[in-house]
Amino acid sequence: MDMKLIIKRLAFAKYLIERGNQESVNSEPLSFIALLHYHDALELSFDLVLEDKGINTKDLGFMQYFERVNGWLRNNGKNEISLKPSLVRLKNRRVNLKHGGLFPSKMDIEESKFTANNTFEEICKNVYGLNAQKISLVELIENQRVNAFIKEAINSYDSDQRKSIEKISFSFEFLLRDYEQSKSDLFLKSPFYFGRNMTFLNSFHMGLNHRDKLSEFVDSVKESIEAMQKAVKILAFGLDYKKYIKFRLLIPEPIWCIGNDMPKVSLGQNTKISKEDFNFCINYLVECSLKLQEFDFEISKKENV
């Protein structure tokens, strides 16, 4: 199997594990969803290994996947995947939840999180000699410009967090902009158009006295309409708005200037972002990219006769 395809499928499994990690910290019963993500991620990983090595996977159960992967590792003189008892418990918890309606405890969720993350790392290392931490979810993003920006953000995080934040800001901006432009008609009219740009429709540009009531009213209306336009557009793209709010609190929106091909991002001299928040932003970008890729379509830009 082509190594690029292997990396892409491992990246998808890692994405599911990351989703599980996010769900695991939610309150009950939302945290229970983590079990489903963990189980699916490991099953996908085991299936990939067996398919890649030409081993039949027909009618196999979860632990049979595990045994056959370990059989291949053993026969090829490689370290086997450990944590078998923990994997059995993970499987049973998933069955109890999905088919029996039995809820896991917080301790069960935490152990499943440890099991899934460590088993995935062992699969990557023992089978393919890969560091799971370096398998990038970015490989799932088809927009190459966005892909490149996110990789720059990841590579510069340790050395220059201001640059890293800037690249994340660019990533989200061009993710939506490129998708929207690809759906515009022959006359560049966007289906995601929700009213005119109101940048210059404020009291200052209208020459109003900033102290009178009319000036205050104009600026308040402008601010409200702009906020609604942004919110409606995010929802129209099918993106998670609550996650978008957190993303925007962490990552400033870039500013476009007339005549420039690239926007500017205003950052303070000591701007920083924690590793946890940084990972959230990267995962949110991946989630948004997959959401847009999930329902993509071509527009025939022919003139009406």
- φ/ψ of residue 187, rounded to 5: -100, 20
- C-beta neighbour count of 53 within 10 angstroms: 15
* Residues forming a β-bridge with 264: 255
Single-letter residue type at 256: W
Per cent of the chain over pLDDT 70 is 95
Q: What's the rounded mean pLDDT across residues 140-150?
A: 91
C-beta of residue 171 within 8 angstroms of C-beta of residue 48: no
Q: How far apart are CA 74 and CA 174, in angstroms?
A: 47
Report the candidate in 13, 4, 1, 282 with the shortest Cα–Cα distance to residue 123: 13
pLDDT band with cut points at 50, 70 and 90 for residue 207: confident
Whether the pLDDT of residue 291 is over 80: the answer is yes
C-alpha dihedral over 111, 114, 119, 122, to 10 degrees? -150
Q: What's the rounded mean pLDDT across residues 68-84?
A: 95
Q: What's the rounded mean pLDDT across residues 53-77?
A: 93
> CB-based burial of residue 133 (10 Å sphere; 0-12 exposed, 13-18 middle, 19+ buried)?
exposed
The pLDDT value given to residue 188: 63
CA 7 vs CA 11, 49, 236: distances in Å = 6, 12, 32
The pLDDT value given to residue 305: 41
Q: State pTM to two decimals.
A: 0.70
Report the candidate in 282, 246, 10 with the shortest Cα–Cα distance to residue 154: 282
C-beta of residue 25 within 8 angstroms of C-beta of residue 97: no
Whether the pLDDT of residue 75 is over 70: the answer is yes
Q: How far apart are CA 75 and CA 68, in angstroms?
A: 10
Which of the pair, 259 or 281, is modelled with greater confidence? Answer: 281
Domains and CATH numbers, the chain: 3-135 (1.20.120), 139-192+237-294 (no CATH)
Whether the pLDDT of residue 300 is over 80: the answer is no
The pLDDT value given to residue 304: 46
Name the average pLDDT for the chain: 88
